[in-house]
Amino acid sequence: MASGKVSVQEAAKLSEEGKYTYLDVRTEKEFAASHPKGASNIQWAFAGDSGFTPNPDFVSEAAGYTQLKDVEGGFGAWTAAGLPTES
Instruction: Give the residue extent of every domain in the chain.
Output: 22-65
The answer, yes or no, to whether residue 21 has pLDDT greater than 50, is: yes
Where b means 16+ CB within 10 Å and e means fewer, 32-56 reads eeebbeebbbbbeeeeeeeeeeebe
pTM score, two decimals? 0.82
Q: Average the pLDDT over 42-69 and give the result.
A: 85
Q: Sorting pLDDT into bands at 50, 70 and 90, what band is 1?
A: very low
